[in-house]
A and B are shown apart, each in its own frame.
Chain A
Amino acid sequence: MWQLQWMISLIPDSVLIWIINIMLIVGVVGTLAGFFIKFIPFVNQYKLPVQILSIIILIAGVYFKGGYSTEMAWRERVRIAEEKVKEAEAKAAKTNVQIQTKIVEKIKEVKDTQVVIQEKIVKEKEFIDKDCRVPEVAIDIHNDAAKNRKPENKQ
């Protein structure tokens, strides 16, 4: 079935709608004519083939008309959906740039503060170290906390 739809998709839309409309008109006219053909002499012998052919053309016309209308309605919905997606992608990219800038600025602020504090430690080093010697156990506790591990019991 998709092969048929693919082949139909190759025909331009304007040409396709004309073909479908002609099929419908021929189908309707042929079907109605099938009822009156019996009154026309000589031609009335073709009544049955005309009726069958007209009904087949009418059914095919209705089928393609339905398919075409649905296809057009979906294409419009797809176009709107694609536009929305495109817009959302642009907004998402813009948001990312804003967040990226914010992160860089805030991290720079953190690093700058760290440098200032470290300079302060260097400046006050003598005063800090003057009366205090850090025991080894304090270093161990600090390192355990930094690595999130439970302290070992040393005697």
Chain B
Amino acid sequence: MKKLLLLIPTLLLTGCLTSVPVKRTFPDIPEELKIACPELKEATKNTQELSKLLDVVVVNYSTYYECRVKVDAWIEWHKRQKEIFESSQ
């Protein structure tokens, strides 16, 4: 009988059981950041003109700066999204 009486509070406590699903979506990233950095350009073989080589070097430097912009943007994106995520906890 005493064991049966123990069932009563157990049964009563199951009334307090609940599950709370709050769906949270992962923040999207800007389209530009989905594109990978391009390969660096090679100079044409047997070119003897310095201007042509210089032209390739300039393109490659620009590629680096373009890529740097993206990396900086990734860092900023992560920092700001983290701040938003933590503020909504």
**Chain A residues close to B by CB (< 8 Å):** 1, 59, 62-67, 70-71, 74, 77-78, 81-82, 84-85, 87-89, 91-93, 95-96, 99-100, 102-104, 106-107, 110-111, 113-114, 117-118, 121-122, 124-125, 128-129, 132-136, 138-140, 142-143, 146-147
Contacts and interface: CB of A to CB of B under 8 A. Distances in A.
Interface of B: 8, 11-18, 20, 22-25, 27-33, 39-51, 53-62, 65-66, 69-70, 73, 76-77, 80-81, 84-85, 87-88
Nearest to A69: B16
B39 A147 contact: yes
Given A110-B66, A142-B57, A132 B50 contact: yes
Given A95-B81, A103-B30, A128-B51, A142 B56 contact: yes
A63 B15 contact: yes
Contacts of B69: 103, 106-107, 110
Chain A binding surface SS class = helix
* Chain B interface, DSSP helix/strand/loop, else mixed: helix
A140 B33 CA distance: 32
B43 A96 contact: no
B49 A74 contact: no
A64 B66 CA distance: 63
Given A110-B65, A134-B53, A146-B60, A74 B20 contact: yes
B54 A114 contact: no
Contacts of B33: 99, 103
Given A91-B84, A111-B62, A128-B50, A82 B32 contact: no
